[in-house]
Structure 1
């Protein structure tokens, strides 16, 4: 049983609904992740967008396949396609409209959110925060610079650095004490005095704990600019601010100081700077960001729209499918497909009841048709049995209806009539016009069986068939006819040959005995009286010679009669066939010098187990006929007298082909030339070719005669099998 369904399956519906749910969840998650109030996680958004694109492509593929399927069904004019397309369009529009509205409002809310991000209030607040942090930082730099200059002034005023080359221990201790006091009073981490070569002259007690590369950098900067310099460090290991200033205008000594800054304040200052930098970077990309987010929202909106369209398609299919299934199933039934069934959707509605009724109806129709098919198959089996029986019959059989139309020919009938195509439903008188007379006779009479001998011409060959027509009758009503016929051509030929053989034997017996005395008497009269005849002796001699010549001719004819009537049993021996063909051909043309001969034999000598005398007689007869034919064509001197004798061997079959350029075979007796006493020559006996045919039959061979193209001679073919090959076979 075949259940007819629309072009979808339950698995396909489940997949489409799963895709709808997944697309809805992914789309709403993307909206939530990208709204201004949300925490925009770039990695999460990227994953969701990739998922949206995959789902969108899947939706487009499914919807496109559905739409193309509906369009193709509509274009091909399938039942239900018009209704299906209208319902799909309606549901798709109804489902897509809310998705489009949501997408529009989502885009509006997103645009408002972007504008709020880059409003003047936010920009002013960030700029003021940056100004405050920069002012605080500059204040710290100014203060430490003032401290460095102030300490340099103190050192310069006190003169403590004068004569540093002769610095004694007391002065050194006093200098360190002063540096420690300044570091303590002003909360410095380091207070160091360098000479002009960058060597440390004196330093506070804790300076060794804060060795840093920035000392050398500040020293190089002060030496280069001749002005105080400041360095701020915010690394994890060094969060200090440092300053260096010349002690006097000579630049012989330099004071270096450093102090800690508040880590929390420094962190806040860095955060403000980073925030302002990021804000300005985003502000510069505002338009691109707007476009990017808009495109993302469009993708999500299109995704939701296609989700809505797919939902509309699913709802439309669910509504239209049962009706379409019924319509298409009904169409399939009208086309003869009674195996079709509509699916049972287990719904409790009128369409479900109609589907069940339809299935019950088609099941009954299918059962009834199966019964008819079984009956028909039984009839076909009987017909095939009859045909098989007829195939084994050697006769041709034709079954006719009462109007003479053929409905049952067997293979033998087609072969006998030389028909290549079917003749069923053809009329007998059209297929075999020669049978029209016998068919007309039985149709116009009350006879049940009529038999006649009919002569047919097929491919230029005459065949004789015995035809019998039997009428099948039920009371007086004709139901049909059976025509049987068989080829009796060979049978009649055998009868004629047998009859002629008997006649030849009788003629030879009756004529042969008096021929010798007649010839001897004529020769004796000639010898005894030729010198005694004085009155017209020439006539006397001519008459006697004629008697002798005619007797000799009659003796030859009697010999041929005897040879034909009583052909000797062939005596087989292994013969050099190549030399035999050359010898016979050469001897046959000795007295005909004006005839050219072409002998073609294989390079390898051919041997055959044959009766040499009979094959010699057959070949001599064929060559003699060719020579006589060319002599009779003497009035046509434009053609060259040419005799070709060719010897071939194909597998185990020998073939001697003799071709002449004589007058050719007459069309009216071509098929009968191998029959006894049929000849085209005036003085021919009509037994030569009959003897050749008999010799070939004794050698399991055939004699084939045909005109050369253009009727410029005859091609005779002697085909036979060597006796040793026959024994092997």
Structure 2
């Protein structure tokens, strides 16, 4: 039987935790260095490439915050562990705390100094990058460009209003020539005449070659009516198309009369802006926008540099703490290992202790201590293995006892029950586990049995002290297992007792009632065969001889002698007939044929047999006949049985029940069938209202020639038992008890159903 090695003790766990901690520290240092290199690279790229910085500012800042938070959490976790070890008073905790504080101060003080200087430098340097004079020049240039465009727009609007007066009297059809002249006067690239619905009436210039020229919007036309002119500057939004800059002016055309039906017209003129002016205006506008964006982002740039410096400070502190832990563990680990091992040995823990592989004196000391405890661990392992093997054997033995059909009880020297198996409860029909610790003679229903067993053990122990030693005793007991108002049930037990090494007593017993009954039935069958062979043959000659004597001597004797002769011959013949019937019954019992099992309806068989008997409520029943009450369960399925033999069973049971009611005040017989869905069996029950069976009859009622009647051979129940065995049916016989008084007898048979 293989058993696991002894569990690893705290020292081994300490070594494993130290190794895990060292690996965690190495990985943490590598990660911190990698993160620092990446952040420095990103920061360098951000300061040398403004576009890269502007695109990734949010990501860089968030990464700084996350890394700083992680490092701060790790530092706090390390200090919490150190404080916890110190509070619990672990060996070496003070040394680790001192080393950690020393290395932390060595790393923190220079880091704080560098951080302070760098913070001031970064803050002032970034502010110096943005000059107030440059910002003022850009603003002045932007205002100058706006003023120039406003002047050109006002001049074009004024000239267009003056030119619109020339179209006041001109009809729409002849407006084209006037528009061409007006375009030349204004120096415009395009002139268009619109109606009030923004429909083009006439045009001159580039718009003549356009299928869909840009029309003014209704909002623009409403603004023209209200302000008398509207100017638009276009083409300054695209820095790559400086030649597309132009100014549009829209003015109303004067009405020739005050008629209400006259339609409003609008004159639109367009001139191009010099490309140099457009390029300069766009350049000034873009430079100003870029300068303002960078001025607004200088606070974020400052936070970026300061955050990076803060992260560098955290890295320095983290490295100092890790270095302190590594050096402290290297110094304190052997001492902690030895201290933990000594404490475990002092507490009785002899499990193998781990050892360090170092070449110094402390490592050699841990190896010697581990070798010393290994021998003790091996010894304990061997003891635990033996105990487990004993436990396994005990469990194996208990499993065997639990599955034995025979009863097993372990008693102490005074007869108290120490333990029992389920077979004992099954045989004795008493829950022995409820009476553990009590004497067997004190268990209800087992008083006589317990007393006899105790006496037999006492006699056996005395015999062992005076005679040759024997290892057990054996005896047969007749036991009445009546309990809790149930009917008497006599069983035959064969018990065997033996002493145990622990001064206990082992009692093993088994129910041999069925074996005894079968042996008796076999013996009676042999007797029946011999009776049929040895007695029946002489009966016929005896009867014939007696009749011949009467026939020869009747005429030769006087009247008194002839009467005496006739009476004697009649007695001989009558007794011979009686002996023939007895022999025939024994012959039938011995030669009962094997059952031919087929599906049979038990309810139909009962009804067929009951035609020969008077039922309850039958008007044709005579006063001397016993009524039979029938209670048939219609749910009963078919059973496997021999119809002819089952009829004989029903007839024998009814006949016995009616005979048992003779002399009772209430003469009644009940026949009942029941179907049990749970057990899937059909029961046939016959009850009478007689005086029941005496106790000495119950245990042998199914044996031949055992009867309570003055007449008969007692073969009725024996035949029923034999037929029940042929059908595989379970048969039970008991007295019906109510209020402590026997109210009759009951015989029940349980049959299996046909599949």
TM range (shorter): 0.5 to 0.7
Report the CA distance shift for 1:118/1:632 in structure 2 as closer, same or farther (over 3 A): farther
1:297-333, Cα deviation, whole Å (9 max, x unpaired): 6983796499469737954993676666667777888
CA distance in 1, matches of 2:671, 2:234: 131
Aligned match for 2:366, one of 326, 342, 355 = 355
Report the CA distance shift for 1:68/1:404 in structure 2 as closer, same or farther (over 3 A): farther
CA distance in 1, matches of 2:86, 2:139: 78
Report the CA distance shift for 1:235/1:428 in structure 2 as closer, same or farther (over 3 A): closer
Q: Is the 8 A contact 1:5 1:342 kept in 2?
A: no
| Deviation of 1:644 (Å) | 2.8
Q: Is the 8 A contact 1:621 1:689 kept in 2?
A: yes
Which residue of structure 2 lines up, in the alignment, with residue 453 of structure 1?
476
TM (normalized to structure 1)? 0.57
Report the CA distance shift for 1:608/1:363 in structure 2 as closer, same or farther (over 3 A): same
Q: Is the 8 A contact 2:477 2:495 kept in 1?
A: yes
Which residue of structure 1 lines up, in the alignment, with residue 458 of structure 2?
440
Which residue of structure 2 lines up, in the alignment, with residue 582 of structure 1?
607
Q: Which consecutive unaligned segments of at least 5 residues does structure 1 have?
A: 149-193, 203-211, 214-223, 244-255, 521-531, 533-544
Report the CA distance shift for 1:268/1:675 in structure 2 as closer, same or farther (over 3 A): closer
Which residue of structure 2 lines up, in the alignment, with residue 346 of structure 1?
358
Report the CA distance shift for 1:89/1:32 in structure 2 as closer, same or farther (over 3 A): farther
Report the RMSD for the aligned CA atoms in angstroms.
7.6
CA distance in 1, matches of 2:79, 2:658: 88
CA distance in 1, matches of 2:54, 2:428: 92
CA distance in 1, matches of 2:723, 2:235: 136
1:588-618, Cα deviation, whole Å (9 max, x unpaired): 33664743334567899878557x3x54443
Which residue of structure 1 lines up, in the alignment, with residue 182 of structure 2?
197
Report the CA distance shift for 1:421/1:366 in structure 2 as closer, same or farther (over 3 A): farther
Which residue of structure 2 lines up, in the alignment, with residue 206 of structure 1?
none
1:671-719, Cα deviation, whole Å (9 max, x unpaired): 4433456556677865432342234345555432356796876553345
Which residue of structure 1 lines up, in the alignment, with residue 629 of structure 2?
596
Is residue 2:716 matched to residue 1:688? yes
CA distance in 1, matches of 2:674, 2:147: 133
Between the two proteins, the alignment pairs up a number of residues equal to 623
Aligned match for 2:702, one of 653, 674, 685 = 674
SS of the aligned residue for 1:659 comes to strand
Q: Is the 8 A contact 2:495 2:510 kept in 1?
A: yes
Is residue 2:575 matched to residue 1:563? no
Q: Is the 8 A contact 1:575 1:608 kept in 2?
A: yes
Aligned match for 1:618, one of 649, 652, 661 = 649
Counterparts of 1:74-93 in structure 2, within 5 Å, are: 83=90
Aligned match for 1:489, one of 505, 510, 513 = 513
CA distance in 1, matches of 2:505, 2:273: 137
Q: Is the 8 A contact 1:99 1:301 kept in 2?
A: no
Report the CA distance shift for 1:479/1:35 in structure 2 as closer, same or farther (over 3 A): same
| Deviation of 1:587 (Å) | 0.8
Q: Which consecutive unaligned segments of at least 5 residues does structure 2 have?
A: 156-178, 188-205, 208-226, 248-270, 444-448, 483-487, 548-558, 560-566, 615-620
CA distance in 2, matches of 1:679, 1:305: 110
Which residue of structure 2 lines up, in the alignment, with residue 41 of structure 1?
53
CA distance in 2, matches of 1:588, 1:426: 56
CA distance in 2, matches of 1:262, 1:650: 109
Q: Is the 8 A contact 1:396 1:411 kept in 2?
A: yes
TM (normalized to structure 2)? 0.55
Q: Is the 8 A contact 2:410 2:505 kept in 1?
A: yes
Q: Is the 8 A contact 2:636 2:682 kept in 1?
A: no
CA distance in 2, matches of 1:259, 1:31: 44
CA distance in 2, matches of 1:646, 1:563: 31
Report the CA distance shift for 1:700/1:131 in structure 2 as closer, same or farther (over 3 A): closer
1:168-195, Cα deviation, whole Å (9 max, x unpaired): xxxxxxxxxxxxxxxxxxxxxxxxxx99
SS of the aligned residue for 2:182 comes to coil
Counterparts of 1:287-302 in structure 2, within 5 Å, are: 289=300, 296=307, 300=311
SS of the aligned residue for 1:344 comes to coil
| Deviation of 1:657 (Å) | 0.7
